[in-house]
A and B are shown apart, each in its own frame.
Chain A
């Protein structure tokens, strides 16, 4: 159906997908923000951890609650004066440089977002793929498909955020535990997607043909089905990254996330909430950063969805 249209209109659909994506200004803006974020996260990791130019943990009690762009006072030791000669984003209640802390936090947000979603997607693709391909087989009284999909339904019934809170309360709250917990509670949508894609692909003639050629199952799944099922998965993964970043921020905000003194956007925000009237930048800077990144991921995901869907393409 749609494939006929693509064939007759354009000889290279992939190229059209790119063009549609690049024509979407919002998605392009999202990409630019994400590129800047990746750059900031890498620079942040490098400049705050290994080659310390911006030290997020220097306490300067004389300079607390300075608004953005203010100059350090004469009471600050020369070694503690920030690199730009001023506090780009102000200081917090201990006189720590908010710019340095935001830089450090960007790596946490980005890596949690990406690792958690990669984990969720791997679990989802595996379970969804098994349910979609081997679903007819029976294990005793229940088919593989029913078993996996009912388990998925059970997982969907949990209020995920409270499940994460409970688990984090029991486990030491390291960044790795947070990644794992967010990943393990976030795979259900992907599993359903992949199962649905596999069920429809399995009926396609080229899959029947692969069976008729006597190709092994793993080859049919990995080389013929998975590449054709990945587009919606990648689109939804982009949007899930935004959700994972939000979840991490919320956890840090509630004090269950990455523990101080390590800075994350969530705990900068949490620390700032007590001073919202005296030092609003402590609240608005991380809040705005989270908003921007989540928005960027959503726009990119939306742009990808439109670019990959032949029916939504203009003309």
Chain B
């Protein structure tokens, strides 16, 4: 009898011990540096906080953003428990002219977990990137932090907290950024955000009427701040996809009957010549910007088109490739998968990078001046909007098909399951940069890695006294 009980106990141990071991091995310390655990890591070098815009230069644009946790009214009138910037959500649009030095002071009035501001899509100096635990400590209630950067790229961008971002972004700590070239392009911001179950544009639900003149060329700056890709299309007029992720498309051709996929965190500037009857810029199907000349009536939305504008082949190619593929001297692979396991003790099916689960994901090392090629592939069964901080990457191919259209510069790339992209960028902005999934709950579930420059280190810690938690 005893022998039998022994065998049963042994069998149980054989089943349970590996589980216990994997569980234990997955537990994360409360505080650690993103520099830990990677072979040849460096604790000496330039600190990220020294990578700043010229401190001697005076600011051209000064903005103060006050973050609060509160119950507030959306522009639509609905009450919502969340976060505001200067008393509203979305927060105020930060505007600058190309070349201006922008200085933004974040004041955290009452966000208990602390807050930061990340400039999504703007290649700021690393110290201004706003990632808690990597480039700064989360700003505690009562504290403040100043971000300084030169607005070098004209285009449509946005800002959001990068502390407990999967919660703070969803609940409203965000706003738009528009950087105009010397000759302004104008246009309407269409910041799309889901507050709870309701999708809104600039905080309004349903149709948002924008008075326009018939015959006017109107630009709608679509910003998808949600966690899933969104289809945008136009009812009532042909349109051009004028810019992607802030970069102008060369010679964009007018299209009809097609949509534009705006991935999480991504932007698309859509231009139409407003017809007399008006035009609707459909945003996901339940909200729209209605460009409405006097006397016109907002028409009904058209069905979502099945075909999408493919940026790989849209617009005119540049005479000379913006980055010579022959100059690539550093290659990295970013392969996204999924497997069962434990993440910090929690069982589940978790995302993997190159087969490894967070925090054992690769450290994508580069040196300043490198021309870097990333091969990003997704084998995980779900779409991932991949966001690289601090750089714009040029898409050179998808599934082996080379890009033939206007140079496709992106910072937020929709990588569907089964797809493989090759992207190239110049390592010209030293620092420690997140390269993560902008479906923010996915980042919190471990789909997050870093591009780190040789000789750069961070004094900031994940966890620590500031309780930094960038995801």
A binds B: no
* A contacts, CB < 8 Å to B: none
* B contacts, CB < 8 Å to A: none
